[in-house]
């Protein structure tokens, strides 16, 4: 074990009128020890403590502290992070490091990085207009990296100890944006957009050929709330039309092609486990979902073990191609670009807010029921991040409650 500081020093006035100071540290045997100082003035003791701490840190500094931050983080990613997380998680971490951290701090020496440097990086990302979630990922990655090398005693102090993530309200204010509740920022399709989307999705060219491949897949997601990766992993044998249900067992994930830890260019689809344990579930099918499945099987069918949403060779569809086709339908139908996840949000919002029936009543499901359909562990996740509240239905609800 290496020696490490436990405090930055304490100064006090002694009973004899002189000044004293003490610095606590842990020695190589993990024994708590202290170094004492004395002087005629407080300033004198402070100078002695500062000089001692500087000398202490220089003695315990390692080769890691002399490396460029870019080289050190990349080494940490490849030798620590890569072995402990799924590749999709590693891909995101490496992307954050290369695009947000290296350009700003990559050429600075690890041992010279200060809390001020990190704060400046976060502020710079904020001022560039990056999303709050992206900047938070920068913070989390740096926090994990510095904590690891500090606990491994590769550096004498952790600069992240004095850095806090920017509060979301302040972050949004600095970007001139309103800090709305999460449920207010949920993106959904309006009734009109759904109709326009469906019309375009099923449109045909002049020669009678379908304009968009796999268009029914998006209608299926809209009526089941599946994640895109879950839909792409769905096999024909996971579907029971007689019982009107599908079984979610796997998920398709997009990963960078790699030779070991080194990216070789391009991406490919990987069949893996679902996002969480509760994501494995059985989803009931309504008439629209059943019709979408039949259209997809008519378009391509390569057997019960083949994916429902497959390419012309019967292989799993790449997520990047699936997204491009979705954006193409949005563009051609004149709908503002939204993520595929908006289909899932729309499904959740419709079920919780409900649909008005011919007799004037509202047919709806509880947040817990919808959470089970979406594969969420709690209904709080569903209500906060997936349902756009419809407050218009509260109009007049307090009539008769005059106080």
- Comparison of pLDDT for 189 and 55, the residue scoring more: 189
Q: How far apart are CA 84 and CA 74, in angstroms?
A: 15
What are the tokens at 139?
């913070």
pLDDT at 2: 63
**Class in CATH terms, 66-174:** mainly alpha
Beta bridge partners, 13, equal 19
Q: Are 172 and 179 in contact (CB under 8 A)?
A: yes
Encode burial over 5-40: b for 16+ CB neighbours within 10 A, e otherwise: beeebebeeeeeeebbbebebbeeeeeeeeeebebe
Q: What is the pLDDT of residues 285-326, one digit of tens each?
A: 999 999 999 999 999 999 999 999 999 999 999 999 999 999
pLDDT at 234: 97
pLDDT at 54: 83
Residue 403's pLDDT band (boundaries 50, 70, 90)?
Answer: confident
CATH 1.10.443.10 positions along the chain are 191-353
Q: Are 290 and 224 in contact (CB under 8 A)?
A: no
Q: How far apart are CA 286 and CA 225, in angstroms?
A: 12
Which residues, including other chains, have CB under 8 Å from residue 154's CB and lie 6 or more apart? Answer: 62, 64, 65
DSSP 262: E
Q: What is the pLDDT of residues 244-267, one digit of tens each?
A: 999 999 999 999 999 888 888 888
CATH 1.10.150.130 positions along the chain are 66-174
Say whether pLDDT at 85 is over 80. Answer: yes
Residue 126's pLDDT band (boundaries 50, 70, 90)?
Answer: very high
Which residues, including other chains, have CB under 8 Å from residue 316's CB and lie 6 or more apart? Answer: 232, 233, 252, 269, 271, 307, 310
pTM listed for this prediction: 0.76
What are the tokens at 200?
């375009």
Q: What is the pLDDT of residues 26-55, one digit of tens each?
A: 887 788 899 999 999 999 999 999 999 888
Helix, strand, coil percent content, the chain, rounded in steps of 5? 50, 15, 35
Superfamily of domain 191-353: Intergrase catalytic core (1.10.443.10)
């Amino acid at each position: 074990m290496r020696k490490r500081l436990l405090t930055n020093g304490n100064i006090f006035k002694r009973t004899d009128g002189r000044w004293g100071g003490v610095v606590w540290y842990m020695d190589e045997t993990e024994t708590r020890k202290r170094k004492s100082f004395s002087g005629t003035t407080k300033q004198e003791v402070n100078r002695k403590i500062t000089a001692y701490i500087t000398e202490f840190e220089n003695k315990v500094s390692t080769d890691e502290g002399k490396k460029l931050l870019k080289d050190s983080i990349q080494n940490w990613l490849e030798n620590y992070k890569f072995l402990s997380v799924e590749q999709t998680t590693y891909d995101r971490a490496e992307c954050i490091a290369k695009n947000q951290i290296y350009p700003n701090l990559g050429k600075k020496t690890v041992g010279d990085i200060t809390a001020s440097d990190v704060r400046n990086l976060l502020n710079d990302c904020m001022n560039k207009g990056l999303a709050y979630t992206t900047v938070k990922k920068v913070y989390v990655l740096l926090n994990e990296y510095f904590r690891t090398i500090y606990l491994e005693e590769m550096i004498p102090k952790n600069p992240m100890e004095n850095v806090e993530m920017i509060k979301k309200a302040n972050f949004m204010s600095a970007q001139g944006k309103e800090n709305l509740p999460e449920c207010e920022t949920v993106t959904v399709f309006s009734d009109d957009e759904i109709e326009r989307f469906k019309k375009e999705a099923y449109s045909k060219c002049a020669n009678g050929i379908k304009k968009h491949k796999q268009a029914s897949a998006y209608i299926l997601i809209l009526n089941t709330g599946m994640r895109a990766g879950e839909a792409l992993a769905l096999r024909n044998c996971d579907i029971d039309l007689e019982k009107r249900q599908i079984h979610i067992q796997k998920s398709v994930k997009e990963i960078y092609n790699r030779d070991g830890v080194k990216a070789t260019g391009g991406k490919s689809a990987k069949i893996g486990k679902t996002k969480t344990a509760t994501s494995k579930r059985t989803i009931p099918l309504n008439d629209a979902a059943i019709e979408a499945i039949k259209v997809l099987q008519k378009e391509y069918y390569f057997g019960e073990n083949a994916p429902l949403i497959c390419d012309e060779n019967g292989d799993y569809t790449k997520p990047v191609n699936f997204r491009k086709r979705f954006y193409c339908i949005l563009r051609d139908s004149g709908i503002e670009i939204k993520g595929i996840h908006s289909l899932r949000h729309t499904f959740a919002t419709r079920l919780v807010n409900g649909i008005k029936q011919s007799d004037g009543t509202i047919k709806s499901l509880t947040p817990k029921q919808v959470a089970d359909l979406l594969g969420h562990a709690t209904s709080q996740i569903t209500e906060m991040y997936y349902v756009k509240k419809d407050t218009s239905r509260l109009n007049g609800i307090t009539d008769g409650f005059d106080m």
